[in-house]
Each structure stands twice: as C-alpha cells, then as structure tokens.
Amino acid sequence: MNAQKLDRPDATGRFGDFGGRFAPETLMSALDELEKAFIDAWDDVGFRAELDRWLTEYVGRPTPLHAAPRLSEELGVEVLLKREDLAHTGAHKINNAIGQVLLARRMGKERIIAETGAGQHGVATATAAAALGLECHVYMGEVDIQRQALNVARMRLLGTEVVPVTSGAGTLKDAVNEAMREWVRTVETTHYVIGSVVGPHPFPWIVRQFQRVIGDECLSQLGERRPDVVVACVGGGSNAMGIFYPFAGTGAELVGVEAAGEGIGTGRHGASLGAGTPGILHGARTYMLQDEDGQVEEAHSVSAGLDYPGVGPEHAYFLEAGLARYVSVTDAEALEGVALLARTEGIIPALESAHAVAWVAKARDELAGRTVLINLSGRGDKDMGTIIEWMEGRL
Amino acid sequence: MIRSMFGPDHKVLLPYMTAGLPNEEVSPDLFAAMADAGADGFEIGIPYSDPLMDGPVIQKASQEALEAGIDVDAALRVVEKVAHRTGLPCLAMTYANVVFRIGLEAFCARLASAGAQGVIVPDLPVEEAEPVLGAAAASGLGVVLFVAPTTGEDRIRAVAARDPAFIYGVAELGVTGEREKSSGRAVELSRRVRAVTDIPLVLGVGISTPEQAAEAARVADGVIVGSALVRRVLEAASPENAAKSLNEAVRDLRAAL
C-alpha cells in the first residue's frame, strides 16, 4: 500500500503508528507550550520573514544544487548534489538550530540546551545561540568528545559550555538522555533544541518543518525537472526528512541510507529501520535497536552522527507506508565514498553524507540512466582524523 | 490492597529499590530489612538501559543490575520473593519501552503472577496511559499516574479521572536524586491536587532525609524515598552491611513520619 505523507502528526502526535509523547510528566506542559508556540510562529509572516532573513543573510541559503559531471560520468548515473555542506557551520544542522533558537527567544526562554553526537548540531546550536545572544549548554558523550575534538573547541570558542556525558557508551544516545534529564530540571526557563527529527511530539514535526527548506529549495532550483531518485543518509534522519518530505508524492523514489557499520550480520551497526523493531526511544514510538526485554542496544558506526539506535518516527511511518525505502552501507563503503567524491568532484563530504554517496556508487547498475539527487548534508573537515587513519591503513 | 496502605492517621512510606541489587540472591533480604523497619510497601525497579527520569545513583544501580544479569525474568523473581516474604504491596517500576516490548497483556500478567500489586511507568503520561490502564485492570493491577509542579489543573483532572492506585506527586523539578534542601513546591502541588481529588497523593523525587520526608508527609498521604537508600546499597562493603544500613535508614524515616 502507498499511503500519503502527512502535513502534520495527528492529535496524539503520531505519524500513523509512530511518534507520540512518552515523556516524564514534568515535561508535558512544556511540550504543549512548545507545540502552541510553534504553530503560532509558523503561521506568523513576521516570524517566517525573520527566519528567511537569517537563512539567507547568515546561513548562506539557498545552498547550491551542483550537477556533478565527473562523478556522473564515472558512475554512469546522472548525479545532482544538494550542497548543505556549504551552509554556515558546514552542515544542514544550522537550519534547525537557527529556527529553534529564534522560536526559543520568541517564547521568552533565556537558556538553550542541546545534545550532540558528531558535534555538528552542537556547533550549529552554539552558533545560533551566540548570534542571537542566548546562553547555551551542549551535552556530548565523552567518547564523542574525544573523537570530535575540533567541534568541541569550536563550541567552546562560541561561548557554549560543553558538558561531558559519562553514562552508557558515552555517545549520542546517552547525550540525548542527559540533555532530556537536564531539561526536566530546568524546563521553566530553558528550551531544548533537539538536533534531529526525534523525541516526543512536537519535536519530530518542528525539526522536519525547519529542515524541509532543503527539499523545497531543490524543487524550485530544478524548475520543471524532477529527479528519479532522492538519496540521503539516515541517523536520526533530519537531513533525509528535510529533503524527502517535499519530494514525497512527486514520483521520485526516496532512498534513506543507514549505517551498516561493520556489517548488519555482525550486530555492530546503526540500521534501526533495516534491522530494528518498533519500540519507544527518547519519547517516541519508532524503530530502534533493542533486545527481547526492550533494553536499548548500542549502535555502531564510524560516523558519530549515524551512531544512534533509533530513528525519527516519521521515517518509521515512511517505511511502513511505502513512501521511502531504507538501505545501508558499511563503514568501509562509506570511507570509499569519501574518496570517490573527493577525487571526482573536489568535495570532501562528512562521513555521514558519504553513506549516501557510497550507496549510489554501489547501486550504479540499478540506477543507470536515471537522475539521482543526493543530499550532501555536511562537509568532512571534522572527520579528517578518521579519514587519515583509514588512508594510512590503520582503520 | 494498594489503597489499604493508606489511612487517616498513617503516612505511607514506600522505599524504592532496584531489583537484583547487589545480586538476585541477596536482593530480597534487603527488602525484608526495610519491611522490618516499617516500610508500608515497595517500589521495585526493573532495571532499564536508559532510565530517563533517574539521576546518577539509580542510573548506576540499573546499570550494575543489568551487568549482573538481572533481566525482566530475574527482576520478577525478586518481586515474587519480596511479595511472598514481606506480605507488603509491591509496585514494579520500569520504563514504557519494557512494558510495550514485552506486550501490555503479557507484562501485566507476569507482574500479577509474581504477586505485584501495581505498576509505575515514569515516561507514561496520562495521554498514553489508556492501553496500559486496560491491561493492568485485566490482570488486577493498579497503575500509578504522575503529577508535577509544572502540571496544570486540566491535566490533574485528567489524571484523577483515570482513578489511579495513587497519584505520584513529583516533589521537585529534575530527575530522581538527593537534594540538600527542598524547594517547597510540593506544598503548592499538593494543594492543587487536593482541590480536585481525594485519591491518595504520594510525593517522591528529591526526598531523602527524615526531615524532608516529614515535611513532605505534612502535605501528602505518603512519601517515596529512592536514591538515598539505593546509594547505601551501592556504597555498602557487604550485603550484611547494606541490609543493616537500609534497616536503620528506613527506621529513621518511619520515625519522622
């Protein structure tokens, strides 16, 4: 069956069977308040004009749509790249961060908290908070703090306090847990800028609305043309939903690429949709990695941004409604994707975004003669440490 | 049986303890030591990997229990022994994903057959509670629902309308854990709950000392004390010391109420 995409989740915050609001009672009134404030802001031409001004004059939107001639020739597939890596701070995360920090300021909040994995959402939120003059604290797993030292330094320079999270495996999932715990303590004065299309309602919807600018821009940049396939990497899934949502219903096939890590069969991966089961994670019903008792299992990916055992509930809906399909590529394939794009187009992508490039290379026979739009969600500078290890054969 | 704990001249003391701490064999002894000291019943934590509403102490307890192999089956064996040995009402506390993953009917049936009287799920707000309330009722279990200082009147009414076994009043903003001083916000919360319903109100979160328990009990029907007790077990040099330390702590709390 092919269902329709939904303008917004239903009254219970669900996209079909997914989403909802499994949150501690202390947060419930704040979630209600946030939903009302977002609806009010989104319908306010003044707010939208202010957001557009920030996206244009500060973020640098619209980001280019680049027809990638040498990559296209090498693969025998016509490839278009949406250059979110050229947005200020180097990834699509800034679209949501600017939107939510503007919303927080409008709501009269004095303080911002956020979680981060690879550090891109942390840097984007720290940037938005600096530019708009709000206090900011970012929760980051201590393992990620070690592997993303550059982004930690950027956040500190931007005036944000980076709070190390030692619980669990010290990665993205634990950073979300700790940011939510902090929000339970400070909910009356603080807004939690969640970084992906995850969390209790209304977060998945708000983040999708702030990220849909990616797909909306592509549609207007393409004029009458339409791609046959739209490809994006999926961790929590914000860059993917940002480009998928406007393209759903246009006839384009939507392909989300999850992290297969060391291989789905090894159990060390981040493929929540491809190899997970429905459950409740971070306040929403969605697909996730878990055992028979519902204990959350650790994800694994060479890319910190895809190292997450859940996924946004709207992706779970897209999967079950047949609106998108979800595939995966391994760590090794993703690193080959980095090299391929660097060599053919002079662009070093983030390890996350390289998953999308790598899948197109892997599926070139299936894609031959078709036009493929890849969301190049971020740049690879932050990953050079990992990439150097791989180049030297140490990975 | 949960409601029968409450009486006009009796403030209920419900210790929280993670099941299977420090291990499955010793765990029931710790509950028995608290029963001897005057506990009225127990909130027994089924360990979960991602306890969002818990502070560092209960997080550590959950992690240690999971590492010691305390899965849901093992936790329910502890519940069964505690219920049998102490004869006190046992309420199982765990997170929504465990309940839904095992299946609402299956989970409630297993709890009931272990002798539990009720279930507490801190990430299950009233909007999402309906299916759990139905499954619990079918197994003869009570469900506890939450109110917090941030909860508005309409939500308090919605909670009362579900007729929970008791209302868990979150006494402090933030997750579970000891606080040096109470914020006093529970007083206003209690007044707002009392204006709407006579369902028993039990305060928890941030209540650790006998003084804090006494202060909370002045405006509620009972108190839940968790992290302060769990910390004693985590810090104890031996299981015997843990039992002795818990017995003393619960005795002091009881005396203060």
Domain count across chain B:
1
Q: What is the pLDDT along chain A (395 residues), one digit of tens a residue?
A: 458 999 999 999 999 999 999 999 999 999 999 999 999 999 999 999 999 999 999 999 999 999 999 999 999 999 999 999 999 999 999 999 999 999 999 999 999 999 998 899 999 999 999 999 999 999 999 988 987 888 999 999 999 999 999 988 888 999 999 999 999 999 999 999 999 999 999 999 999 999 999 999 999 999 999 999 999 999 999 999 999 999 999 999 999 999 999 999 999 999 999 999 999 999 999 999 999 999 999 999 999 899 999 999 999 999 999 999 999 999 999 999 999 999 999 999 999 999 999 999 999 999 999 999 999 999 999 999 999 999 999 87
**Residue A395: its pLDDT value, please?**
79
**For chain B, percent of residues with pLDDT exceeding 90:** 99
Residues 153-212 of chain A with CB under 8 A from chain B are 167-168, 173, 177, 180-181, 184-188
The secondary structure of residue A11, as a DSSP letter, is: T
Nearest CA in chain B to A30: B150
A93 assigned to active site: yes
Nearest CA in chain B to A173: B50
Does residue B100 belong to the interface with chain A, where contact is any CB pair within 8 Å?
A: yes
Alpha-helical (H) ranges within chain A are: 25-42, 45-54, 69-75, 93-106, 120-132, 142-147, 149-157, 172-186, 203-211, 213-222, 238-247, 272-275, 313-321, 331-345, 351-362, 364-367, 384-391
Average pLDDT over residues B130-152: 98
**Residue A2: its pLDDT value, please?**
59
Place of tokens 């910190």: A304
**For chain B, percent of residues with pLDDT exceeding 70:** 100
Does residue B68 belong to the interface with chain A, where contact is any CB pair within 8 Å?
A: no
Does residue A29 belong to the interface with chain B, where contact is any CB pair within 8 Å?
A: yes
Q: What is the pLDDT of residues B51-74, one digit of tens each?
A: 999 999 999 999 999 999 999 999
State which amino acid sits at residue A167: S
The secondary structure of residue B7, as a DSSP letter, is: B
Structure tokens at A120: 């891109």
Structure tokens at B47: 């360990």
Structure tokens at A248: 């759903």
Distances (CA, A) of A355 to A235, A244, A258, A259: 11, 16, 7, 7
**Neighbour tally for A268: CB within 10 Å:** 16
Structure tokens at A299: 């994800």
A29 to B49: CB separation less than 8 angstroms, yes or no: no
- Chain A CB contacts of B52 under 8 Å are 24, 177, 180-181, 282
A30 to B150: CB separation less than 8 angstroms, yes or no: yes
Which of B48, B63, B101 to probe by mutation at the A interface, max A CB count within 10 Å?
B101
pTM, to two decimals: 0.97
**Residue A169: its pLDDT value, please?**
84
Alpha-helical (H) ranges within chain B are: 27-36, 56-67, 72-86, 96-102, 104-113, 130-138, 153-161, 185-194, 210-217, 227-235, 239-256
The secondary structure of residue B47, as a DSSP letter, is: P
Nearest CA in chain A to B70: A293
Does residue A342 belong to the interface with chain B, where contact is any CB pair within 8 Å?
A: no
| Nearest residue to A100 via CA among A199, A225, A2, A195 | A195
Q: What span, in angstroms and rounded, lies between the C-alpha atoms of B21 and B44?
A: 11
Q: What span, in angstroms and rounded, lies between the C-alpha atoms of A236 and A313?
A: 9
- Chain A CB contacts of B155 under 8 Å are 25, 28-29
CATH of the domain at B198: 3.20.20.70
Do B105 and B46 contact (CB within 8 A), yes or no?
A: no
| Nearest residue to A380 via CA among A356, A350, A354, A355 | A350
Do B19 and B61 contact (CB within 8 A), yes or no?
A: no
Q: What span, in angstroms and rounded, lies between the C-alpha atoms of A75 and A341?
A: 11
pLDDT at B1 over 90: no
Which of A26, A29, A178, A188 to probe by mutation at the B interface, max B CB count within 10 Å?
A26
Instruction: Give chain A's end-to-end CA distance (angstroms, integer).
Output: 43
3-state secondary structure of A170: coil
Domain hosting residue B234, numbered range: 3-256
Nearest CA in chain B to A298: B49
B67 assigned to active site: no
